[in-house]
Amino acid sequence: MEALSDLSTFAKILTDKGYNGYFHTQGAYAGKLKDSISDFLESCQKGADSLPKQDLLLTGYLQWWGDVKPRVECSMWVKYLNGKFSLSRMEVARKDGFGQLLKKSELANLSVMSAPQLKEAIALVNDAPKQTAGKSPKRFKL
């Protein structure tokens, strides 16, 4: 079984892997990874929200170039048990400017340590760059 880690360790590992953008926890509580989860848990303690029966859902953008260009979105399902966290699965999706799915990749049976680096996650759904054959320079005939 995967080792559970506290919020600071969990957030630091993912931030070091490049996931340093803004996220939403359970569809609200926007902020950096640690702040978003902390705000959600604080709201649960106050009784304004309740912990889900299943995993916590974290959503955010891995790549964004504005409303009209394609973007890469990420959803992470995080197990929360007695103040400890572990990553269970991740879904990375590339969508066009209208929100239509272009390509999706699901990663299951993950741990926070085995999660891909940000660039690797983006590469899962980005199209491979098309290689073009370079034109050879014209040669003179003698």
Average pLDDT over every residue of 85-110: 91
Q: Is the pLDDT of residue 133 over 90?
A: no
β-partners of residue 81 are 84
42: three-class secondary structure by DSSP = helix
Provide the pLDDT for residue 3: 67
Would you give the end-to-end CA distance of the chain in angstroms?
73
Continuous segment of H or E residues that includes residue 107: strand 101-107
List the chain domain ranges.
7-125
Alpha-carbon distance of 123 to 136, in angstroms, equals 30
Q: Say if residues 15 and 24 touch (Cβ distance below 8 Å).
A: no
Provide the pLDDT for residue 1: 43
pTM: 0.80
Alpha-carbon distance of 103 to 16, in angstroms, equals 26
Which among 70, 45, 59, 51 has a CA at the least distance from the CA of 126?
Answer: 70
Provide the pLDDT for residue 73: 93
